[in-house]
Structure 1
Amino acid sequence: MGRHSLPDAPAPARTGARRGARPRALVLATGLVLTVAAGTVVALDSGLLPFGGPCDGEATRLDVAASPDIAPAIEAVAKSAREGATRTDGRCLDVKVTARAAHEIADAFGQRPVDPEFQVWIPDSSLWVDRVEAERGTPLTAAGTLASSPIALGAVPRAAKSLGWPAKTYTWTELTRATASGDALRLGVADPSHSATGLLSLARISAAHAKEAPDHVTADTRTAATARLLNQRVADGDGQAMATLPRDGSGKEQDNPRRNQALLLSEQAAFAHNTRADGGPDLDLIYPEGGTARLDYPYTLVDNSETGPEQSRAANRFMTLLSEPAGQRALRRHGFRAANGEADPKVVTTAGGRDPQPYSAAPAEPPAVKELQALMGMWTITVQSARLSTVVDASTSMGAPVPGHSGRSRMDLAKNSLLQALTTFTSDDEIGLWKFATTLDGDKDYVELSPTERLGGRDEDGSSHREALADAFRALAPQPQGATGLYDTTLAAYEEARSAYASGKFNALVIVTDGTNDDAHGIGLDALVGKLEKLSDPKRPVPLIALAIGPQADTSALDRIVKPTGGSTHLVSDPSQIHQVMLKAIMAAGSNGPR
């Protein structure tokens, strides 16, 4: 899929400015430097945290899981609290900080039973907390925001100059268009399924397309096209993305096709890069116009049954330490802004920001959970490609005219809408078509019109599979005297989709119907649901997406049918809108797939 991540180890922190580097504030690698002399701990930053008496008594242990970017700053405050014998309930506060990627913890919360080994979670974005609460039902409490960091585009000097930095400013769409088209400037991004930076960047791009496009279908199509471009140089996570930057300033290194010249990243990540001893060329930051996306680092309390009142109070005590001026100074030293997002001149300058770049712009309204779910679904089917078996009702009732459409039938509108949907899929996607009605093929209620194969492949007559499939869609017509043989068709199509499961692709079965099952001689609803429960495999998911056209569609039965597969039912009042509903349903199903 064109991923570029290099196994480069992080470079040690830089202790002074490089020759020829831009002026920047001196950054201490841990944020808090402690020296030990004759067994006495002396804080270099006086007044960092109050020192208490010697901690030779009982201690209250607090376990904190923090995003890798903020973990060093959190550990610095925790260490100072330990060394200074900071107390809670009269006991010493002993905070252990573990760096853990936010997506790993979010996925771990999906396991049952949930038994986290920490009482506080500090991810890089509230979106992870929202996702866990929405999808997993795990009780979490975001007690406050510790810090923030806006998302920008970091580019090595040569690339930044080609983009007109710092004088030229860009909207989100202009920026991705300028950097992601062609090979002139290689743009990298962390996988949105693993990175809040990647997902929030994609959300801002999507919002910009929605504002500029004439309709939401065009906006979705443009966002998907941008996602395909970004995926050409996607890295598994934030650390892997940073490792794709040049490691020295030589022309040979910057021309290396495996190295990116620009990344979508947080201001703090650029700050950390620019203060490493051998992190490679300094990055210049371009801050997109049209609403800033930012990481917000929520201090999140985990509802653990084993957490006692002492640990709860210890968690509150530690949050107080992080929120006080000394704790906030420690965060600034690691390149973070305050929770309100106010720009810190030293942080901005060290990270690579310059006037007139809009680094002080107010943040955009954060995207809702449903918006992010839809984006993740779009990303999934865009980067993985899709394998979809489409099954269309060809019963007599599909010939009924639809009010307000000049006498055109449900089938006319449905197949035209499906043809529109077909144009949104790539050559690597696999699409097939069945139709169904009672006694359509002897005793069978269904027939395959076009196999589920790559749209870019060639059929026996030499035409592309896309062309052959489009012809099959156009030829769809209601079957005279045909009733709705829904249940037998669903079982046969699902068995086929499961047996032909394509690993590495988004697999799904889409059924379009306007009626209720009319085949009295076939399988019953209870038996069908039972068989689907046995066929479904969470490790090889094939969600069944049911599009119910008109008021006669049996949505209650469809709801029961789709449930074992992890699919969904969607009522479509206007058949001409099938393509829109279908694509949104596919995206929603994709967002719930394996991560």
Structure 2
Amino acid sequence: MGRHSLPDGRRTAAADPRPRARRRTVALVTTLVLAVAAGAAVAVRGGFLPFGDSCRDDAVRLDVVAAPAVTPALKDAADHVRERDITSDGHCMDIRVTAREPYKVADELRRDGSKARYDVWVPDSKVWVQRAGIGGGQARVSPAGNIASSPIGVGMLESAAEKLGWPRKTYTWSQLAGASPRADAPRLGAADPARSASGLLALTKLGASARASDAKDADTRAAATAKSLSSRTSDSDGRLLDTLARDSSSAERGNPRRNEALILSEQASFAHNAAADEQQALDLFYPEDGSPVLDYPYTLIRENELSTDQSRAALRFMTLFGEKPGRRILAEHGFRTDGERPSAGLVTAAGGRTPQPYAQEPGEAPSDKAVQETLGLWTITVQSARFITVVDASDSMRQLVPGRGESRMDVTKAALLQALAGFTDDDEIGLWEFATRLDGPRDYRELVPTGRLGDRKGDGTQRDRLTKAFGALRPVPGGATGLYDTTLAAYEKAHKGYSRGKFNTLVLLTDGVNQDPGSISRAELISRLRALADPEKPLPIIAIAVGPDADEREADQIARATGGSGHEVDDPAQIHSVILKAIVQAGTQQ
């Protein structure tokens, strides 16, 4: 690797070769300098130290919110702009940076972006920009480019890394996560994928790694991996580092509450090692099947409402990070910058060594669909779920899906079986079917009562019974769509069986509109659903309109009466993805 090769020794000598006495002297001097600098910074922000005379009267103010990890670098860049009187079209720039967790900003923007009181948002990943747009809210976000990057890996205490042969031995994600049958796999912690891009992107990669084995139970294994990881998650990336064993003593290593390994970004490991003592420093594995990357998108908020001066100032601040001073600032904080390979110093300080593939080009980024599926899987894995699945069995379900040579029912059954594989044994699922007058005067019939998938009864488990029942679903000859009575009855049943601590929902699949003239009206159905809906016991309907004959607007109207959502799919094969996306959407509203 030429100049990018790393030394074989450990990072401690490379990180800071100075004697401790000298470190203390430097620390005292640094403290005095920082105190003076801090006072100056307060004075500037308070208006006591003016900008240069040439532009102080018309400085353009920009309010920036950023992920906590990148906030210090942005503040240093804002200070650089102020100290050097860097201007935009002759105007000074008054840039104020505030740290906020990206998931909170994304949810805020998704609910109502018009209430945002900031001009620029720099999350750590584009997944939050995508999440801000889920659900058709009022978010107005305009990514303008990426200012930095940092690959995600697995950091370990020295004792754990040595057991696994670091740095000379490499592993895939699934192996590092303990999916391999090693009994001595280190305890692995991660930040909550619902709140951390590092956790979410790593979990997406873990699922892909498990599926790459082509095992028939790959989806089940991916769910099991997520379930295992969920027992060791932290609320945020910052709190994750607090779970690390304090030293390499046997007592600490044996403490089940302490992690020996963490999923985190290279930059987070860099920052941790800069402040940690030798006992808590991390060695960093870069998985051989590729590291997902945090990409720090620089995003304008309500761009059409910004003044011309604000827009140009915002873009001028962004371009600073493509220039030498901005790249230097980012590198000092442990970030990689566009257009250059990682330096040996950065990787060494972060805990990397050759032959770990730290300089490997990142693979193709996961699709938005893959990320949403992973987040949906995580939601039901962590909370566990209680579902009643209600499937349209009307005669129209025998129609062929264009281009597939299979009926709507056949493809729907395959999609449901795929979804079932993603649930754990702690989840509770039941199955209903409906048409018209399917069970005497009723339009619906309960095929499998709701129960825990792992519970055994007779010769098989609840999962076995559902698998068999899904496979036996058949369109009812001459059956029409008895939608309204069925929806109300199933919702009442789900409401009575509500289970606290689980994600409760009713999944409704239909390929048509209500065709039972003797049923209640749509208005009455919606009124009764609203009366049953209880914010203290959230029970959203996920209504999926399958095929061209279904009414998506009606499905959405029915679902929203319960806090749920309606979706349209042209191909029933999309059902699995839609269910997981709807779970994410419902989960962010609770």
Q: TM-score range by the shorter chain?
A: 0.7 to 0.9
Per-residue CA deviation, residues 64-87 of structure 1 (Å, 9 max, x unaligned), is 111111111111222233344444
What's the secondary structure of 1:507's corresponding residue? Answer: strand
- 1:69-108 matches, within 5 Å, as 69-108=69-108
Structure 1 counterpart of 2:337: 338
Letter in 1 for 2:295: D
Structure 2 counterpart of 1:312: 311
Structure 1 alignment gaps of length 5 or more: 1-18, 43-50, 574-579
What's the secondary structure of 2:110's corresponding residue? Answer: coil
What's the secondary structure of 1:160's corresponding residue? Answer: helix
Q: For 1:544 and 1:38, how far apart are their aligned partners in 2? A: 55
Q: For 2:134 and 2:437, how far apart are their aligned partners in 1? A: 44
Task: Give the direction of change, closer, same or farther, for the CA distance of 1:20–1:181 in structure 2 (3 Å limit).
Answer: closer
Structure 2 counterpart of 1:385: 384
- Cα drift, residue 187 of structure 1: 0.5
Moved more, 442-451 or 105-114: 442-451
Q: 2:434 aligns with which of 433, 436, 440?
A: 436
Structure 2 counterpart of 1:127: 127
Letter in 2 for 1:524: S
Q: For 1:571 and 1:285, how far apart are their aligned partners in 2? A: 45
Q: For 2:128 and 2:518, how far apart are their aligned partners in 1? A: 49
Q: For 1:32 and 1:365, how far apart are their aligned partners in 2? A: 44
- Cα drift, residue 266 of structure 1: 0.5
What's the secondary structure of 1:502's corresponding residue? Answer: coil
Per-residue CA deviation, residues 399-433 of structure 1 (Å, 9 max, x unaligned), is x7989xxxx99889977886675455322111123
Q: For 1:394 and 1:558, how far apart are their aligned partners in 2? A: 17
Structure 1 counterpart of 2:145: 144
Q: For 1:512 and 1:322, how far apart are their aligned partners in 2? A: 49
Q: For 1:569 and 1:73, how far apart are their aligned partners in 2? A: 44
Asked if the contact 2:555/2:566 (under 8 Å) is kept, the reply is no
Q: 2:586 aligns with which of 578, 587, 593?
A: 593
Q: For 1:189 and 1:553, how far apart are their aligned partners in 2? A: 42
Structure 1 counterpart of 2:542: 544
Letter in 1 for 2:493: E
- What TM-score results when the alignment is normalised by the length of structure 1? 0.80
Moved more, 426-435 or 351-360: 426-435
Structure 2 counterpart of 1:364: 363
Q: More helix per residue: 1 or 2?
A: 2
Structure 1 counterpart of 2:287: 288
- Cα drift, residue 560 of structure 1: 5.8
Q: For 1:410 and 1:110, how far apart are their aligned partners in 2? A: 34
Q: For 1:197 and 1:101, how far apart are their aligned partners in 2? A: 13
Q: For 1:170 and 1:535, how far apart are their aligned partners in 2? A: 51
- What TM-score results when the alignment is normalised by the length of structure 2? 0.80
Structure 1 counterpart of 2:488: 491
Structure 2 counterpart of 1:206: 207
Structure 2 counterpart of 1:509: 506
Q: For 2:292 and 2:90, how far apart are their aligned partners in 1? A: 42
Structure 2 residue 174 is the aligned partner of structure 1 residue 173: yes
What's the secondary structure of 2:443's corresponding residue? Answer: strand
Asked if the contact 1:181/1:229 (under 8 Å) is kept, the reply is no
Asked if the contact 1:148/1:341 (under 8 Å) is kept, the reply is no
- Cα drift, residue 339 of structure 1: 2.3
- 1:152-191 matches, within 5 Å, as 152-177=153-178, 184-191=185-192
Per-residue CA deviation, residues 114-154 of structure 1 (Å, 9 max, x unaligned), is 22222121111122223324554523232222211111110
Task: Give the direction of change, closer, same or farther, for the CA distance of 1:501–1:410 in structure 2 (3 Å limit).
Answer: same
% identical aligned pairs: 47
Structure 1 counterpart of 2:350: 351
What's the secondary structure of 2:272's corresponding residue? Answer: helix
CA RMSD of aligned residues (A): 4.1
Q: For 2:207 and 2:260, how far apart are their aligned partners in 1? A: 23
Task: Give the direction of change, closer, same or farther, for the CA distance of 1:388–1:166 in structure 2 (3 Å limit).
Answer: same
Q: For 1:40 and 1:554, how far apart are their aligned partners in 2? A: 63
Structure 2 residue 14 is the aligned partner of structure 1 residue 23: yes
Per-residue CA deviation, residues 424-481 of structure 1 (Å, 9 max, x unaligned), is 532211112334344444433334344323234577x898655665676678677788
Q: 1:426 aligns with which of 424, 427, 434?
A: 424
Structure 2 counterpart of 1:445: 443
Structure 2 counterpart of 1:524: 521
What's the secondary structure of 2:587's corresponding residue? Answer: coil
Q: For 1:39 and 1:244, how far apart are their aligned partners in 2? A: 31
Task: Give the direction of change, closer, same or farther, for the CA distance of 1:86–1:184 in structure 2 (3 Å limit).
Answer: same
Task: Give the direction of change, closer, same or farther, for the CA distance of 1:509–1:90 in structure 2 (3 Å limit).
Answer: same
Asked if the contact 1:55/1:85 (under 8 Å) is kept, the reply is no
Asked if the contact 1:555/1:571 (under 8 Å) is kept, the reply is no
- Cα drift, residue 566 of structure 1: 0.4
Asked if the contact 1:180/1:230 (under 8 Å) is kept, the reply is no
Asked if the contact 2:553/2:566 (under 8 Å) is kept, the reply is no
Number of residues of Structure 1 aligned to a counterpart in Structure 2: 555
Letter in 1 for 2:106: A
- Cα drift, residue 511 of structure 1: 3.7
Letter in 2 for 1:592: Q
What's the secondary structure of 2:334's corresponding residue? Answer: coil
Structure 1 counterpart of 2:253: 254
- Cα drift, residue 354 of structure 1: 0.5
Structure 2 alignment gaps of length 5 or more: 1-9, 18-22, 42-49
Letter in 1 for 2:159: R
- Cα drift, residue 294 of structure 1: 1.0
